[in-house]
Chain A
Amino acid sequence: MSFDRSLHLINSATTTSAGTTSTKSKPMGRRKFLTLAGAATAGVTLSTLPMGFAGPAAAQTGSRSLVCIFLRGGADSFNMFVPRDHGVAGQTHAVYAATRGRFAVPAGSLLPIFDGQFGLNPGLGGMAAIAEAGQLAVVQNVGPLGQPITKTDYLAGRSLPQSLFAHDAQQKLWQTARPTLTSSTGWAGSLAEIVAPNAPVAPSFSLNGSNRWQASTGSRYSRLSPTVPISLLHGYSSEQRTWIPTFEGVQDTLAANLSAARASSNVFDQAAADSLSQSITTTQQLQSATADNAANDVGMDDVGRNRLGMQLREVARLIKNREQLNMPRQIFLVRVGGWDTHQDQEGRFPALLSQLDGAVTSFQNAINNLGLADSVTTFTASDFGRTLTINGDGTDHGWGGNAFVMGGAVSAGRYGTFPDLTASATNPDDISDGRNNFAGRLIPTTSVSQHGATLARWMGLNDAQLDQAFPELRNFGQRDLGYLA
């Protein structure tokens, strides 16, 4: 047996430092394709995959995709959606400005939306245009709650969500829609289990790593990267390595050892095998749909190096291909950090807004151009809102914040109850106990349960399923916030 010693040829045909994937298809030849993890043959035609979902007939016409934009760190959303010409006492621009001091956005700078009583931060021009097109809703003062809570409840320590003001805890409460940290699965995980049971590749994708929102016992979400393209695993895929003449034997041995790891009694062996199997399946199923080629062009090249935009571009590709992927329901998480603006907020916040606004605008345009606006709903989420008062050059951790929902199915307007912004210990919506420590940490007036349930209902959950996915929903009067048609 002879072989080509110049194994450097491998470089020219595989993933190189530029990160470009070889999309040259290798001849299958005599090689029997390894079926691993029950995957179908590699390639795009996946219409044979069973992809049923269970849900009430009412809401199931056509495909639907749900996109969560998680702003990690706690976004200062009371500077994103601001009273402008709003007359309710305690909620006027004047009160807002007095409380926020140097950080207050002047009324004249705000971009009026809806009836002009409120406006968006001038850094959100694209979102203002989306609002103008009737495709934006604002969920006011929303946050984790197990039941409605008053200031008196807070000061008495009654029924409070667990570990308020801590980043990771509050992210988990947002993602599980529970008031305590007892759940290791999230409401998107529950959603995926219901709308896409038994899917070989769950239609649930994260473009920024592990999260609890999509975690589920019955369904595995895929973690994709906006910068590293999907490449098939050498040794575990159908790719030929004819310059390594023994490679067929290597592939067979690797496959057998993967099975051995799966059967190991050690939980880490099992987890490693699971990750490897999932990677093999996902890369095979999705490589074609996510490749950076003309067929997958969604017209979002204007995002450039905008990391959120790059994630949303991958989302758009997967949405565009959802029929081919046999995914009538899809769930996406995109996420960026940097929102924890304890310091230098005046320097950092405009850049954060610009990143968000640019990404969202490009994405919404792309979806509109694909004619899919009515079937794609995007919403923002964050650990918490921030203190209304400042710490010198930044803000600290709060609780309630404003969230945005975008898409053609949205009924434009503001939902929930806007809070009192008065800098006073007697402000009923703030947690201060009167020891001269007013910070402007607002008690949410709408819960994540209600917010999530509204979105989940749009995705096809019925009332019984909603109560299961959102166990605290029954503690609130309004089960559907009404912003989705």
Chain B
Amino acid sequence: MAIVTWQPRDVGEVASIATADHPGLTRLSAPGSTYRTFDSSADQPVGPLNGSLRVESYYALYVETETNRGRRQFKFVPSNNATPQLRFGYRYVVGLGRDTRDGTLQPFTADLPALATQAEPGIVIESVGLVFARVRGELEIELIDPSNPVQPPTGEITSNDAARMLMQATYGPTTASIQELQTLGSFDTWIDQQFAAPISLTLPYVRATSNGSLGSTRHHIWFDNALNGTDQLRQRVALAWSELFVISDRDYVLSNSQYSVSQYLDLLAEQGLGNFRTLLETVTLHPAMGVFVSMLANERADPARNVRPDENFAREVLQLFSIGLYELETNGEVRTQNGRPIETYDQTTVEEFAKVFTGWTYDGLRRWNDNNAGFQDRESPMVPYEEYHDTGEKVLLNGTVLPAGQSARADMTAALDNIFNHPNVGPFISTHLIQRLVTSNPSPAYVGRIATVFNDDGSGERGNLAAVVKALLLDPEARQGHVTQPSTFGKLREPLLRLTQVFRAFEAQPGPSSDGVYRPEARSINAIEDIVGQGVLRSRSVFNFFRPDNPIGPGSDLVSPELQILSEINVASTNNMFFNQIYGFNNRSDGYGAVSRLQVEREVQMAGDPAALVDHLDLLLMAGALPPAVRNSIIDHVGSVPDTEEGRFIRALDAMFLVTGSPFHLVQK
């Protein structure tokens, strides 16, 4: 039986349904506007309909299928819409219907593109079809734009749901932040508040506490901001940008330019929720990036001496910062030709872009080759020297030609526009942000929805990062993926985020002799990467700590970027760090005074009731994801410890270690 791939058509087409074909039905409206009503007491096919439907007053979704045994209907109820029971080999026509058994009205939403992709491989929804209205009374249909997902009604955020959002969008939930979010009752509003929160910075602290060659101060303030900053979401997004627009102070020059590196981080925070085109230019012209990926002082060709422009930035800005190696559909799937992925650019294109990125260097110099560090402005954007800029014609992506004779800045602007407008950018950037915040293997439909927002935020703006971040957090897959795709949703936590989560959860305080600096057990925070495998702006190359396509296992189609840095050694050292931190550095400990202390009194107070204690930790550390058997085994152990004053202390510590030391804690879902 032939299977035809279903391409969702514009929802705008729905408005063209001719009412003459459907007696009793008035014209259906376009997406976003309100519903139509009609009366019917018999089956009334209406359609075809495309895109998503939010249905008020529907009780069930019927799928009608042609099989070799005739026409059959399957009914789906709203609570069961995760398992559509669609089977390979059948052609489906999707319809909507109502069951009048008890007459209650229930809101019902079907994301039909998602339904299609969640079905068994090979399934096609050939057309979205027919509304079967077995109703008496009102039937309201609203068509919604699939890129504008449905949000749960306000006031109904469970504590687990709140914790899950906070895990995705902050450095870790706290009891207070969970309650605040529940009270607020709206993720949308919370996100807006986060966007408006004052920005936590790095540079002022670094400038005040060091002469710029000390790497540790940058890490101290990063940790402080992560634990205490109010702009949690902005900082998480900035961290995500730091893992795309990678610089690293393992570079010798940057290790001695901590003001520059700190300012770079601050710009990622300040501009990370603005427009992508602006962010791309800021990163391109930042001297720290100029140093790290060698665009700084790149000169145009000198053929007589066989000297060509440096290709480093030209290649990496394409491969790593914007479009990647292969052409992508809007939903992130790689486009192929004859079984091979279609490359987005070739060596020649790299050479052409290399010509664009010539003639730029530090602001403040007395001349092009001025090596006196005192004149190198490492915080202002780089400036052009026309004499060293290639003035030839350049052929960029998609055949765009920059004419000869343009200034360095004109070429730069045009080249960044050329990159920015490449269709890959939406899915490439969306996938990156989704992977950093939510899940390693977003469905193509999810990527497509977010990339669509990147392409146009609804008001015609391309690259609106705030809209993209909000959309990806509010998306049904982010909010409910753990329910709808339990086997593949989620991600291994980044090691640094495991650490911040534990510190935030237990309100860690700097050690008594630490001068207010946070230090986890065993290492100062700037050397923490030896223990946990990761440090902020400390990767060994521009390729970040891990690649987005790192497979979860040989031969698997699923990826797990964070798995790339999980080694036998750092699994052990991280485990032992948490062990020592919990048992050895809590608020009742003496000992090495520089290490931060976890506050455990709240847990000790709760330890009289083992189930309450474990549920509290399950919520705080796992958003309720501990399997029931595991939860029970921890409760059993806690209950086996005597319920004395001393025993409750041990109960609390044992419970904390049993959660953080379990493999489940490595996972966010």
Contact = CB atoms under 8 A, between A and B. Distances in A.
Interface stretch (A7-15, A364-372, A468-476): A7-15
B627 A15 contact: no
Given A185-B554, A258-B662, A389-B307, A210 B588 contact: no
B492 interface: yes
B575 A233 contact: yes
Interface stretch (A130-138, A143-151, A246-254): A246-254
Interface in A400-457: 423, 431, 436-441
B522 A10 contact: no
A24 B268 CA distance: 47
A3, A228, A273, A337 interface centre (most CB from chain B within 10 Å): A228
Contacts of A233: 571-572, 575-576
A180 B552 contact: no
B564 to A, nearest CB: 5
Contact of B589 (A7, A72, A164): A7
A257 B662 contact: yes
B573 A231 contact: yes
A391 B650 contact: no
A337 B440 CA distance: 27
A166 B315 contact: yes
A392 B298 CA distance: 8
B588 to A, nearest CB: 7
A293 to B, nearest CB: 18
A57 to B, nearest CB: 30
Contact of B634 (A8, A253, A268, A441): A253
Contact of A167 (B350, B524, B543, B667): B543
A73 B575 contact: no
Given A249-B654, A250-B654, A392-B310, A283 B572 contact: yes
A343 B303 CA distance: 18
Contacts of B565: 209-210
B175 interface: no
A8 B591 contact: yes
A271 interface: yes
B319 A166 contact: yes
A17 B522 CA distance: 4
Contacts of A256: 633
A210 B663 CA distance: 20
Contacts of A185: 554-555
A197 to B, nearest CB: 16
A101 B630 contact: no
B584 interface: yes
A169 to B, nearest CB: 7
B374 interface: no
Interface string A240-269: 010011100110111011101110111111
B417 to A, nearest CB: 24
B197 interface: no
A247 B302 CA distance: 70
Given A72-B541, A250-B657, A340-B541, A8 B315 contact: no
Interface stretch (A77-85, A217-225, A355-363): A217-225
B191 interface: no
A165 B637 contact: no
A163 B646 CA distance: 63
A225 B567 contact: yes
A151 to B, nearest CB: 14
A173 B186 CA distance: 49
Contacts of A390: 306-308
A194 B593 CA distance: 52
Contact of B553 (A246, A260, A271, A391): A271
B572 A267 contact: no
Interface stretch (A45-53, A274-282, A294-302): A274-282
A73 B343 CA distance: 21
B530 A225 contact: yes
B461 to A, nearest CB: 32
Nearest to B553: A271
A267 B554 contact: no
A397 B310 contact: no
B658 A279 contact: no
A380 interface: no
8 contacts: A7-B591, A15-B580, A166-B325, A254-B661, A257-B662, A271-B492, A271-B553, A436-B303
Given A210-B563, A268-B560, 14 more contacts: A8-B592, A235-B661, A253-B637, A257-B658, A260-B633, A264-B627, A266-B669, A337-B541, A342-B311, A393-B297, A394-B310, A423-B306, A436-B303, A439-B351
Interface of B: 293-294, 296-299, 302-303, 305-312, 315, 319, 325, 340-341, 343, 347-348, 350-351, 440, 486-492, 522-524, 530-531, 540-541, 543, 547, 550-556, 558, 560, 563-573, 575-576, 579-580, 583-584, 586, 588-592, 627, 629-630, 633-634, 636-637, 640-642, 644, 646-647, 650, 653-654, 657-658, 661-664, 666-667, 669
